[in-house]
Amino acid sequence: MKVVLFVVDDLHFVPNLNKPIIEKYGNDVVQVYISKSLFSFKKIKKNISFFIKNRYPFPIKFKDLYKFIKWQLKLKSNGADGHKTLHDFFSSHGISTKYIETLNGKSFHEELRELDADVFLFSPFDKIAGPKFIAIPKLGAFNIHLGKIPEYKGGFSAFWVLSKNDSTAGASIHRLANKIDEGELIEEVRFNVEKKTMISLMDDTIKHASAMTLKGLENIENGNIKSVSIEGRDSDYLLYPTKEAFMEFYKNGNSLL
């Protein structure tokens, strides 16, 4: 089964999520595409009115923001397992990588067809795929969502779980669709929240998501996909936290790190 991975340019969560996948399916991963735009100027500019309205970064406590920035700088300095970039990380496992800015160009689709892949897997990724992209792989295109679906569609699920004082967190795999986190849900895991920091809850989510993904890939390979019903569940789309959400987050005794 030939697999193409699409990931964001993150040196902490992406290696931890994908290590088990590489260990089991490393010979099957024919290419990794890395997004250039996880925290790009273009993305900030697009949401500038939201950030101004919510007084970013001032809703974050100074001590918390300082610790978070210090952690990010240390990560960039030390890298992941001695690797300074995601390219280095995947290359050390013999996997080719390429940085990309868009998914939906004609020439890029031609490049993808030449890979003759069975599965496209967003693990995780930050771009919306069009129908022509989704139709390329033989067995389907899928997304690992680091949150419960449909309760926490969007992003920053660990933050929102803590802000809403939810007792459970989760991760999901769904088919790609034209709308964010709206495709058929084929695998999920839910677990009790035992941490009070966003990063530690994210680490727990990654651990559970890795095991879930191995099971999901095995079912995809064996043609044993089973749709998970979301009937009766609450549904919400959440992304950047508002200043009110930060107030609830800290009120509940949480921190970023």
User: What integer pLDDT is reported at residue 105 of this predicted model?
Assistant: 86
Q: Which residue has the tokens 């191995």?
A: 214
Residue spans of alpha helices (H) in 7-105: 13-25, 41-46, 48-53, 62-78, 86-91
Q: What is the CATH code of the structural domain delimited by 3-251? A: 3.40.50.170
81-140 pLDDT per residue, tens: 778 899 999 999 999 999 998 898 899 999 999 999 999 999 999 998 999 999 999 999
Structural contact between residues 228 and 46, judged by C-beta atoms closer than 8 angstroms: no
62-75 pLDDT per residue, tens: 999 999 999 988 88
* Cβ atoms within 10 Å, residue 149: 23
- Kindly provide the residue ranges of all beta strands, DSSP E only, lying in the chain, ordered along the sequence: 3-7, 29-35, 97-100, 119-122, 140-145, 153-154, 168-175, 185-192, 237-238
**Is the pLDDT score of 39 beyond 80?**
no
Domain boundaries, the chain: 3-251
User: What integer pLDDT is reported at residue 44 of this predicted model?
Assistant: 73
**Is the pLDDT score of 240 beyond 80?**
yes
Q: Which of these ranges, 16-25, 32-41, 70-79, 96-105, has the smallest mean pLDDT? A: 32-41
User: Letter for the amino acid at 18?
Assistant: N
